[in-house]
Amino acid sequence: MRFVAIFGAVLVVPVAASGNLPLTGTAIVIDGDTLEMRGQRIRLNAIDAPESGQRCLNHNGKPYRCGQKAAFALADRIGRGTVRCEPMGRDRYDRIIATCFKDGVNLNGWMVREGWAVAFRKYGNDYIADEDEARANRRGLWAGTFDMPWDWRAARR
């Protein structure tokens, strides 16, 4: 009996845990808070970046495509290097929700600290200090004015 219980645990545990194993590889940036790796969409946990078509105002009040700029910032940070993502579940669109890293740097936090994304408090408090730092230093979006990404999306529904 003891052998069967151990054998059963060995078979069940890896299958149950396999959905949360880290993903590692080359990532393609879809937008400022979404990557694609090995054919799977990955949503960066607890952050929200402007949408691709979203416009913001720079420090001179001139409109610019802040969603595109956010995506370019993430793409430049990642380059062609290896990204490691630690999944924590899936969202309603079946995207993997994860915290992702490049060269040991938390990309979720980096995007918020650089001002190209905001802390998505609805889904976690992980990056509030990073947002406060970006705002205080007028980095990225905080150099001008912008609508929070969730407000911008809601206005277009």
Domain boundaries of the chain, sorted by first residue: 22-146
Residue type, 112: V
- Asked whether residue 101 carries a pLDDT value surpassing 60, the answer given is yes
Task: Judge whether 131 counts as a catalytic residue.
Answer: no
**Active-site residue (options: 2, 36, 41, 43):** 43
pLDDT tens track for 30-51: 999 999 999 999 999 999 999 9
Task: Judge whether 95 counts as a catalytic residue.
Answer: yes
Q: Which CATH number fits domain 22-146: 2.40.50.90, 1.10.287.470, 3.40.50.720, 3.30.2350.10?
A: 2.40.50.90
* Angstrom distance (rounded) from CA 58 to CA 52: 16
Strand partners, 34: 31, 43
* Angstrom distance (rounded) from CA 65 to CA 36: 22
Confirm whether pTM is higher than 0.85: yes
| CA atoms 97, 99, 71, 28: torsion sign | negative
* Angstrom distance (rounded) from CA 121 to CA 84: 23
**Active-site residue (options: 36, 38, 41, 51):** 51
